[in-house]
Each structure stands twice: as C-alpha cells, then as structure tokens.
Amino acid sequence: MTELRDLLKRADRAYYIEASPIMSDAEYDRLLAELKQLEAEHPELDDPDSPTKRIGDGPIGGFETFDHALPMLSIDNTYSEEDLAKWHERMVRLLKDNGDPPRFVCDPKIDGVAISLRFEDGRLVRCLTRGDGTKGDEVSHAIRTVRSVPLKLDEEVPGVLEVRGEVFIPDPEFARINEEREAAGLEPFMNPRNACAGTVKNLDPSVAAERRLRFVAHGRGAMPEGFASGHAEFLEKINTLGVPSSPHTKVCKSLDEIVETIRSFDKTRRDLDYATDGMVIRVDRFAQQDSLGVTSKSPRWIIAYKYPAERTTTKLLRVEHQVGKTGKITPRAVMEPVVLAGTTVRHATLHNYGNIVKKDIKIGDTVEVQKAGEIIPQVEGVIRAERPKDAEKIVPPGECPICGGPVEPEYRDGAEDPSEETARRCVNPECPAQVREKLIWFAGRKQMDIDGLGESTIDQIRAETDIPLESFADIFRLHEHREKLLLLDRMGEKKVQNLLDGIEKAKSRGLARVLGGMGVRHIGESTAKSLARLFPDLDALLQAEEWQLRPKTLSKSEAVEKGLDADPKDRPETGLGSLTAPIFHAYLQSEAARKTFAQLREVGVDLTSKEYRARSDGQAATPEPGDGPFVGKTVVLTGTLEHYERQELSEILESLGAKVTGSVSKNTDLVIAGEKAGSKLDKAKKLGIEIWDEKTLLEHLPK
C-alpha cells in the first residue's frame, strides 16, 4: 500500500509539475483501483493523504464561509500595449527610490475559477473560493479530488502557507463531459469556465472527481516569514514542494521584454489544451509590491493584459431557439463553418431577440463573428452591403420550442419595444428542457431538503433506469421502484432506505417550501414564505385575485376599495411586488400550474401553510411572535448542533421573530455556536457579540 501511494504521488508530480508522465491514464486508474481495494481490506492502515481520498466520500451538507488571511482582490485590465506602457512607466517612477529597479513576472491568465489553498505544517487543510475577496466558501470537498493539488507537500513547511491559483477544466475533458451529457439527454455546458464554477460549488465531491479538474498556482496568501522574497522565487519554491505553476511564466526586466513575452505567448496559447485570455504582469519583489499598495479594489503592482478577440466573417444559415435550465430561450446562430481562434466554429450566440432587432440581423446575412474571452463565439454585427435580396427576418418564438407552453418576454426598463427585449422565457415549470435542473433545485437543502437526492443521484436514475423522473410528483413515487433503485451502482439497502425516508419526510414541509422549490420565476425562498404568510393553504392561494398577492403595494384608494387599511404601514408586511404579482398570478391560473399542484396533492404532499396566521378581522397577517428573546434580533448560526439541522433551526427562529443571516457583522445581535464553530465564532468574539451554546439556546426556545 505504501509503495502504491508513493508511486501514484510520483505519477501526479511527473504529470502536473514536470510535464513528463511516467504512466498512462489507464495504468494510473488500474493502480488506484488496486490501492482502493487494499485500503478497504485494511482500514487500520488508513492514510488521510492517500490518492484514493480524491474520489470523494459523499455529498456535504452546505458551505462554511471563512475569512481570507490576505484579501483576494481583483486585477485591473488593459487592452492595449500603449496603456501597458503607461502602467510600466508608473511602476518604474513610483519605485525609483525603492531599492533596485523593478523586474516583472509575466503569467498566463487562465480562464478558470480562483481558489486559495491553505496548508498547515505541510498538509492541505482548507480550500476557499474567492467569494467577495475578504471571505470565501470552503470547497475542500471538491478541490481535494483534483490530482494536481497535493494533499501533503513534499517537504514539511512549518506554519501556514497559502497558495492562490486557478482551477479549470481542460478542453479535452470539457469535450468529453459534454459528449456524455448529450448522450444522457442532458443540456451541454456553455463553456469550460461555467462548468468548472458549477463543479466546484456542487455539494457532491464525486462530480468534481469525475470531471478531472486541474489546478495551476499564480499567487500567494499567508506564508512563513522568509519563505520567498518575490513572486518568481515563490513559484519556484512551491514547485519543489509539489504545487504546479505555469511553465510559460517568465521574468522580464524591461517593457520590451514584457511586450515580446505577450506577443510570443499569443501564438503559443492557441496550441494549449485549456483556455487563456491574457497575460498577467506583476512587480516581482514582495517588498516593492507592499510599498506600492492597493486601491479600493485592486493592487497597484499588477495588471492583466487582455488579448483582443479574433473576428471573422461567415454566412448565417438559420437560427435555433434553445431553452436553458431557467426557461430562458436563447437564439443560436447556425453558420457556414469558419476557423476562429484556432477552432472551427459553426454556432454562435445571438444573445437575445432585442439584440437581433438592434443589429438588424437576418437569415442569409454575412455576419461578423468573434469569441468572447476566447471561449464563446458570438455574432457581433452584419456586413449590410452583402445582404442578399431574399434575406429573412428572424422571428422570436411565440411559444416554447420544446414544450409548446406560453412564453414571457422581458424588456429593459419595462418598455415593450422589440429592440429592448432582454430575455424570453418558457414559464412552464415542467418543460422537459428545464426538468433536470428543476428536480435538483426542488430536492435541495433549502427547498424540500430530500436527503440523498442530489444531482448525481437524479442523473443516475434518469440515465440508468426506466423509472419515471420527469416531474416533482415522480419524486414522491420513487418508493414504488425500490427494487430497481437497489440495482443501481453505489445504491445499497441503507442508502435507498435513507433516500425513501427523506422523500417521505419531505411531504410535510408545507406550502412555502413547495413554492420555493418549484423554480417558478420570481418565487424564491423568502418570497415563498411571504406568500405563505398571506394564505392558509394552496386552495386559498389559487382562488386569490392578483391584488391579494400584493397588499403592501396597493395605492390608498385601491386599498380602501378592497377593504384594506389605507395606510400601507397597517397592511401585512408581506406579499409580492407590483411587477411580479401579475406574472405569478398568471402562472397560478395556467393549466401547467394546476396540473403540477394536482399531482403533488395526489402523492400526499402537504400544501398547507406553516407560516400563516389570521388577524382578528379575518385577513391575513404576518405572524406576530410576541415579545420573546428572538424578536427583532439578527442571528447567525455556526458549527454543528446536536438537536437541530441548521435549516430547521433557522425556520424556528424566524417564526419567533428573528432574522437569520449567514455572516457575522456589527449588526449581528446573537451568534449560536455548535461544535466545530469556525471563523464566524472568532469574529463574534472580536466584535463583542453575544454568543450562546446549544444548551443556552434550548433554555430559550419554547417548550
């Protein structure tokens, strides 16, 4: 086992650091499977840094947020060599009296997802997204599956070492993933970066393992004193420790060398197996970086040169109308094949139907096409002089091209002008093009919270069985197919039983959770709760008139006419807005909605409101929690609690008058800390915020 672990770690280093593979992928996978079997037979010899730990144990419950030791700031961009020269001149001038003349490091700008790796005494302990720059979500469950990220450094480094870099999906892997998705009847991903971002934030680590992400380092966070004096030395040091950086990084002493490096890499990057859209240039020495400082949003000592998008012309043959996971209908151009940025392009986005009208694009036109960020081909304009006489107008679909359901156009600033249309959506929540994404959302933790029914399980059931899973109601019929579920890979007796128990429990979540989980446009978690405070059950909601969905936004005269208080302050602090109420009301009256609700009722889903309370005059009102200890308090939950799931406790506290938020600030009134509480607890202590443990919480909750 020790020999296998060492051999596989050497194979990772040879492939990702030295660019000199010592075995094929098939051989690597065979040895990994052998090691996994041995570890299963000898659990007493477990090693947390084993290569098998990259496979992923199972979905996590959610994301914990941590502060970055040093901010992960954004980088200013430039698109011309002239602006780059001005930046260089400014750096030289500002550093004139600060030691030796500055030298610079040029790094390829990879189009991926920024990640910070934190090593403590040489072991990987935490991986964070960029987040808002000061704090990010922990995604260690996904990043630990990335073979180019070492779980343990080759040498022990005392203290904390943070490495920032980019996680990305190589082009061949992206092509493979989309081929597999299309074969399974799923919508292909638009581009590698979006696919990578979704993979990193997927709660199931096996998804990241299957998509074979890669990591390349490009920066530092916290590090031991004296570890490195500059960026080039830092990259060299972490390379010796087993962390990969780009082989195309170059140290430059002058502007001419920087420009030559940028021009040279523009040719090289077209042969790489991953997307790049520029070159990052930074002052090398850390001491000089520190003296230059930062602006409110970005460091002064670094800049990104973005390559101009390549543009060419071709003929527009026809337009396809694609329906995405949110129901958005996007026009896609089908063109005569043309080579663009090193690849053959046949399709390009037309963005939306308002864009088509503004640019006066017609079928048969000679169009200008470019790649946005070197990834997504898009139609930029028309060569009007070459328009044929039989050019055809592009007509937006009046109904969904997939399900034939109604569509809803959206306009900029509400102006119903065809040139101002920003989107067109299918409003049928059971449209086949949206079904998969809607099922995943519906089963999610903040919606129906069905344990065991994540993205991978839904995909597995839909792809590998004949079990119907096309509607929300089908989820609640899965108990009828228990024997078929048991035949699925990695779905043993216990896992299937947990899944079915989770589905049964979800039936009693109530109206707000159902509405928030259906993925209806404009109706999220908080809006669904707002509606549930107004109506006691689904029947009352379906019978409501449009104005009853928005009591707060009625004018004084409308309110008096409807029998409500003239003063908005005396009306329910809940409901929809004046723009969203008509849209949602129209959906409630649609045949698709009535069918969906009827199916849910048929399978036993509780469609009564848990939030509703009636006023003395018989009208709906926001719950009045009284004068308890949580009324008007902003509460943050952190750590693991023995008696409550976090979502369950959040709902209880909100019903008692609290506002539950995800981060600690000076406006926080109370932090409830369970076991393994992290940075939120530390921040609360620094700010002097009241902190309760679970025992104190239980003493204050209603018996």
Helices assigned H by DSSP within 168-314: 171-183, 192-200, 205-211, 231-240, 255-268, 286-292
In whole angstroms, how far apart are CA 43 and each of 35, 158, 481?
A: 12, 29, 34
Over 150-174, what HEC string results? Answer: CCECCCCCCCEEEEEEEEECCHHHH
Q: Which residues pair with 165 in a beta bridge?
A: 115, 217
Co-location of 101 and 241 in the same domain: yes
- pLDDT digit string (tens) for 117-145? 999 999 999 999 988 788 888 999 999 99
pLDDT level of residue 625 (50, 70, 90 thresholds): very low
The listed range with the strongest mean pLDDT (52-56, 85-89, 272-276, 672-676) is 85-89
Among the residue ranges 71-85, 280-294, 641-655, the one predicted with the least confidence is 641-655
Report yes or no on 333 lying in a domain. yes
3-state secondary structure of 248: coil
d(CA 458, CA 628): 42
d(CA 236, CA 229): 11
Is the pTM here over 0.75, yes or no? Answer: no
3-state secondary structure of 369: strand
Task: Write out the two tokens for 294.
Answer: 């930062």
Co-location of 264 and 329 in the same domain: no
Report yes or no on 267 lying in a domain. yes
**pLDDT for 617 beyond 50:** no
Among the residue ranges 5-14, 393-402, 577-586, the one predicted with the least confidence is 577-586
- pLDDT digit string (tens) for 319-371? 999 887 678 899 999 999 988 766 678 899 898 999 999 999 999 999 999 87
d(CA 635, CA 657): 10
Boundary residue ending a domain (598, 621, 644):
621
Co-location of 211 and 334 in the same domain: no
Query: Any idea which residues carry the catalytic annotation?
Result: 109
- Per-residue pLDDT averaged across 675-685, rounded? 82
- pLDDT digit string (tens) for 198-247? 889 888 888 888 899 999 999 999 999 999 999 999 999 999 999 999 99
Co-location of 49 and 160 in the same domain: no
Report yes or no on 273 lying in a domain. yes
3-state secondary structure of 596: helix
Residue 131 gets which letter from DSSP?
Answer: T
Co-location of 497 and 402 in the same domain: no
d(CA 225, CA 228): 8
**pLDDT for 74 beyond 80:** yes
How high is the pLDDT of residue 333? 94
Task: Write out the two tokens for 256.
Answer: 């001419």
User: Are the CB atoms for 352 and 379 separated by under 8 Å?
Assistant: no
CATH number at residue 135: 3.30.470.30
Q: Which amino acid is at 149?
A: V
Co-location of 290 and 214 in the same domain: yes
Tally the domains of the chain: 6
CATH number at residue 662: 3.40.50.10190
In whole angstroms, how far apart are CA 624 and each of 573, 629, 641?
A: 11, 13, 27
Report yes or no on 483 lying in a domain. yes
Q: How far is the first Cα of the chain from the last one, in angstroms, to the nearest whole number? A: 54
In whole angstroms, how far apart are CA 420 and each of 113, 232, 247, 330, 344?
A: 32, 49, 46, 15, 32
Q: What interhelical angle do 192-200 and 171-183 show, nearest 10?
A: 80
How high is the pLDDT of residue 624? 44
CATH number at residue 22: 1.10.287.610
Report yes or no on 629 lying in a domain. no
Co-location of 529 and 607 in the same domain: yes
pLDDT level of residue 28 (50, 70, 90 thresholds): confident
Co-location of 83 and 188 in the same domain: yes
Q: What is the Rg, in whole angstroms, of the alpha carbon atoms belonging to the chain?
A: 28
How high is the pLDDT of residue 414? 66
Report yes or no on 627 lying in a domain. no
Matching residue, tokens 């079997």: 37
Boundary residue ending a domain (449, 479, 506):
506
- pLDDT digit string (tens) for 494-546? 889 989 999 999 999 999 899 988 877 678 777 788 788 888 899 999 988 88
pLDDT level of residue 305 (50, 70, 90 thresholds): very high
Co-location of 233 and 113 in the same domain: yes
How high is the pLDDT of residue 616? 35
Do strands 343-349 and 362-363 pair parallel, antiparallel, or not at all (unpaired)? unpaired
**pLDDT for 436 beyond 70:** yes
CA atoms within 13 A on the CB side of 484: 14
Work out the mean pLDDT of the chain and round it to a whole number. 84
Q: Which residues pair with 129 in a beta bridge?
A: 115
**pLDDT for 614 beyond 50:** no
Matching residue, tokens 């003493």: 699
Co-location of 456 and 604 in the same domain: no
Task: Write out the two tokens for 181.
Answer: 């998705």
Edge-first strand listing for the sheet containing 113-120: 123-129, 113-120, 160-168, 214-220
Residue ranges making up the domain that contains 40: 2-54
Whole-number percent of the chain with pLDDT over 90: 35
Task: Write out the two tokens for 108.
Answer: 């390829």
CATH number at residue 341: 2.40.50.140
- pLDDT digit string (tens) for 541-555? 998 888 777 776 666
Boundary residue ending a domain (261, 278, 306):
306
d(CA 450, CA 294): 46
- pLDDT digit string (tens) for 237-249? 999 999 999 999 9
Handedness of CA 287, 288, 289, 292 (dihedral sign): positive
Handedness of CA 237, 241, 242, 243 (dihedral sign): negative
- Within 8 A by CB and 6+ apart from 25, the residues are none
- Which one is predicted more confidently, 105 or 586? 105
Report yes or no on 626 lying in a domain. no
User: Are the CB atoms for 526 and 460 separated by under 8 Å?
Assistant: no
Nearest to 434 by CA among 521, 520, 324, 588: 324
How high is the pLDDT of residue 615? 37
Co-location of 182 and 222 in the same domain: yes
Co-location of 186 and 260 in the same domain: yes
